[in-house]
Amino acid sequence: MTARTTRSAAGPAGTAAREPQLQQTLTEFLIDEQRKVPNATGSYTALVNDIRLACKRIANIVGKGQLVDIHGKAGSVNVQGEAQAKLDIVADEIFHRTHLRGGTVAAMLSEEHEHVRPVPPEYPRGRYLIAFDPLDGSSNIDINVSVGSIFSVLLDPDPAAEIGPEAFLQPGSRQVCAGYAIYGPTTMLVMTLGHGVHGFTLDREIGEFILTHRDMRIPEEASEFAINASNSRHWEPAVSRYVDECLAGASGPRGRDFNMRWVASLVAEAHRILLRGGVFLYPRDERASARKGKLRLLYEANPIGFLIEQAGGRASTGDSPILDVQPQGIHQRTAFVFGSRAEVERIEAYHRDHNAKRYDAPLFGARGLFRTTAGR
Ligand code: AHG
Ligand code: MN
Ligand code: MN
């Protein structure tokens, strides 16, 4: 952002008033983007405007905390068998209702709903599909730690056909827009329209998102890793090796010390990695319940993966690019590894290595906190 410091020529002689320092708003950013596309209908801009409104509405409610009675468990479970928080349901309703009238969306897919929800016939059908995790990291709500909303936008593949789940089964490389809102000490909207990643901070006094982080790039050098280490006894050899080597620090094969982080909120981890670099792993593991991983492909891994790749990082299943995965189901889970490119490539190389040979934890792992079991 360049601050404008020129004096107004229109001011009275000798008392020229300073022009106000106006930072670029999301609205102005979108107008500029739309003007780059000849014959744009404005539908895409209208869609992003609705996403913005939904996130502001959710930020408002999340920010009230215990002052309003929408905290705690809802007493229900979602399609994934996970207990729903009351705020999961409220955020889902807000996201859904905010996108009904605009004529931009044909159908919506949410973590909190088993089935795809087409826009009902009383409203115009739009060109886009939107998949979302209305409240990510909701286990953190009651302890006042950052949560977020994640969204992924695809084109409706067949605007003449009745819409069903198969319309959403497109690889992440076909996303036309993706991003998240993070509800932390400040509320931010971070998104890509397919040309870089930009971050906007909500100015609550004027109710507008302001462009504060233009062209976000993931630092290449990074010394932080994020993983839920309580699952270490179930990890695959490639993951055990990577973490063992980080923990061995300066005296191990990496020759430098690493730091570990785990917020249990994908949005918060992605935000930190976009700004500070590092790597995130939620790998599949040996348990029957975790063989496919934990995070959901269409509304968690794909949108975060698109952002990470657009910011110069890498997003992977551990074996191959996440954005190339052909989805088989709308609530499909996946292993997910993302962050600074060189670290993710190293983890992919370890997966290739240990397809062929087992991992024998070397001596530097013997006294480690997460000592691997013998024979892996
Ligand atoms: P959600 O709250 O939408 O269900 O997502 C929670 C996800 C993700 O945000 C986080 O990375 C992960 O679950 C945390 O898992 P653990 O509880 O296993 O650490
Ligand atoms: Mn989530
Ligand atoms: Mn969620």
pLDDT, one tens digit for every residue, the chain (376 residues): 444 433 444 445 555 567 778 899 999 999 999 999 888 899 999 999 999 999 999 999 999 988 888 877 888 888 888 888 889 999 999 999 999 999 999 999 999 999 999 999 999 999 999 999 999 999 899 899 999 999 999 999 999 999 999 999 999 999 999 999 999 999 999 999 999 999 999 999 999 999 999 999 999 988 999 999 999 999 999 999 999 999 999 999 999 999 999 999 999 999 999 999 999 999 999 898 888 999 999 999 999 999 999 999 999 999 999 999 999 999 999 999 999 999 999 999 999 998 877 888 886 655 445 554 443 4
Q: Which long-range contacts (CB under 8 A, 24 or more apart) does 184-192 make?
A: 184/146, 184/268, 184/271, 187/55, 187/56, 187/59, 187/63, 188/212, 188/213, 188/271, 189/26, 189/51, 189/52, 189/55, 190/216, 190/271, 190/274, 190/307, 191/48, 191/51, 191/307, 192/306, 192/307, 192/310
* CB of 148 sitting under 6 A from ligand 1: no
Pocket of ligand 1, candidates 89, 231, 282, 284: which has the most ligand atoms within 8 Å of its Cβ, to mutate?
282
Tokens found for residue 354: 């240990």
Place of tokens 């729903």: 84
Pocket of ligand 1, candidates 78, 149, 265, 338: which has the most ligand atoms within 8 Å of its Cβ, to mutate?
265
Determine the distance separating the centroid of ligand 1 and the alpha carbon of 291, expressed in angstroms.
Answer: 16
Pocket of ligand 1, candidates 113, 132, 141, 294: which has the most ligand atoms within 8 Å of its Cβ, to mutate?
294
The pLDDT, as a whole number, for residue 69 is 81
CA distance 187 to 200: 9
Q: Where are the domains of the chain?
A: 23-213, 224-374
The pLDDT, as a whole number, for residue 16 is 57
Gyration radius of the chain's alpha carbons: 22
Count of C-beta atoms within a 10 Å radius of residue 158: 11
Which residue's alpha carbon is nearest to atom 13 within ligand 1?
A: 264
Kindly list the distances between the CA atom of residue 108 and the CA atoms of 89, 111, 119, 201, 210, in Å, as whole numbers in the listed order: 15, 10, 8, 26, 27
Sheet holding 117-118, edge to edge: 117-118, 105-110, 128-136, 147-155, 177-183, 187-192, 197-203, 208-213
CATH 3.30.540.10 fits 23-213, yes or no: yes
The pLDDT, as a whole number, for residue 92 is 97
The pLDDT, as a whole number, for residue 374 is 41
Select from 294, 297, 308, 322 the least CA-distant residue to 235: 294
CATH 3.40.190.80 fits 224-374, yes or no: yes
Q: List, in order, residues 6 or more apart from 144 with CB less than 8 Å away.
A: 65
* CB of 138 sitting under 6 A from ligand 1: yes
Determine the distance separating the centroid of ligand 2 and the alpha carbon of 101, expressed in angstroms.
Answer: 26
Q: Do domains 23-213 and 224-374 have the same CATH topology?
A: no
Ligand minimally distant from the alpha carbon of residue 83: 1
In eight-state DSSP terms, residue 331 is T
The pLDDT, as a whole number, for residue 331 is 98
In eight-state DSSP terms, residue 79 is T
Determine the distance separating the centroid of ligand 2 and the alpha carbon of 43, expressed in angstroms.
Answer: 27
